[in-house]
């Protein structure tokens, strides 16, 4: 059964409110997406593996902990790219895999156009990032690709989710924990999240 965590930290709620505003310009939108992803990344990786390492302080040798280097950050293109730098600042030696998907405007179903993953994906903790979980089609397809290529330990992180997408994702991949910045009300007739923030890719890249 998936763990579904809706981040209720005041800073995340504050920043998501600004992110939603139609008056927030592209530069600020990018900065906020990065900051929220950073806060979420900290919380969503509480259970990642550590190994013991020896460290020498100015006084003595002691044992410390080292975060595993076996992390893969997997943005769903394009909008997932807006969350990558935040995770790389937390995990500088993480590898990055890209999965290119777009939603067909008529059917709203995901169409794959690119997939390039790090080696030994089966050994890594894969953190799939996409700002929006709407119908859930893109997240499910991306995680299907990852699993087909051997990935086992997968987390999904999004800034905004619709209840419909959470249900679809957790039913399709009950082994994947889902971290959400804000759980919104619903999807509209065009499968956009309401209240949402509009088209995340367009807002991040200024292609409105
Ligand atoms: C958006 C978003 C997700 C997807 C979510 O991408 O970034 O990938 O829609 O919708 P779903 O849950 O209904 O699949 P979009 O298809 O607009 O592509 P883009 O990132 O290239 O703009
Ligand atoms: N994709 C987006 O970018 N926004 C939505 O609200 C739904 C899907």
Q: Of all helices (H) and strands (E), which one includes residue 167?
A: helix 163-172
Instruction: Determine the distance separating the centroid of ligand 2 and the alpha carbon of 96, expressed in angstroms.
Output: 23
Catalytic residue IDs: 103, 107, 199, 202
Per-residue pLDDT tens for 52-102? 999 999 999 999 999 987 999 999 999 999 999 999 999 999 999 999 998
Q: What's the whole-number mean pLDDT along residues 185-195?
A: 97
User: What is the best residue among 83, 98, 101, 143 to mutate for testing ligand 1's pocket, by most ligand atoms within 8 Å of CB?
Assistant: 101
Tokens of 91: 């995990």
165 Cβ inside 6 Å of ligand 1? yes
82 Cβ inside 6 Å of ligand 1? no
- Report H helices in 21-149: 26-44, 84-90, 137-148
Instruction: Determine the distance separating the centroid of ligand 1 and the alpha carbon of 61, expressed in angstroms.
Output: 50
Tally Cβ neighbours within 10 Å of residue 101: 22
pLDDT band of residue 103 (cuts 50, 70, 90) is confident
Q: How far apart are CA 153 and CA 78, in angstroms?
A: 23
Cis geometry, peptide bond prior to residue 78 (ω within 30 degrees of 0):
yes
**Cα torsion for 145, 146, 147, 150, to the nearest 10°?**
120
Q: How far apart are CA 32 and CA 19, in angstroms?
A: 7
**Four-residue CA torsion sign, 140, 41, 127, 1:** negative
User: Residue 79 CA: which ligand 1 atom is closest?
Assistant: 20
Distance of CA 179 to the CA centre of its chain: 8
**Which of 75, 83, 141 is closest to 108 using CA atoms?**
141
Per-residue pLDDT tens for 120-175? 999 999 999 999 999 999 999 999 999 999 999 999 999 999 999 999 999 999 99
């Amino acid at each position: 059964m998936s763990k579904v965590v809706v981040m209720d930290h005041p800073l995340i709620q504050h920043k998501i409110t600004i992110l939603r505003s139609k008056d927030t310009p592209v530069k600020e939108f990018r900065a906020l997406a990065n900051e929220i992803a950073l806060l979420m990344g900290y919380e969503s990786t509480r259970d990642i593996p550590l190994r013991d390492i020896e460290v020498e302080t100015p006084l003595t040798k002691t044992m410390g902990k080292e975060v595993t280097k076996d992390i893969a950050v997997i943005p769903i293109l394009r909008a997932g790219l807006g969350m990558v730098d935040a995770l790389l600042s937390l995990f500088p030696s993480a590898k990055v895999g890209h999965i290119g998907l777009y939603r067909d405007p008529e059917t709203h179903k995901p169409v794959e156009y690119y997939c390039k993953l790090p080696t030994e994906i089966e050994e890594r903790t894969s953190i799939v990032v996409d700002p929006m979980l709407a119908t859930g089609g893109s997240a499910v397809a991306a995680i299907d690709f990852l699993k087909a290529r051997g990935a086992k330990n997968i987390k999904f992180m999004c800034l905004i989710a619709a209840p419909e997408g959470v249900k679809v994702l957790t039913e399709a991949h009950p082994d994947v924990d889902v971290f959400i910045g804000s759980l919104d009300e619903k999807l509209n007739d065009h499968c956009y999240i309401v209240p949402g923030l509009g088209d995340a890719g367009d807002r991040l890249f200024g292609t409105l």
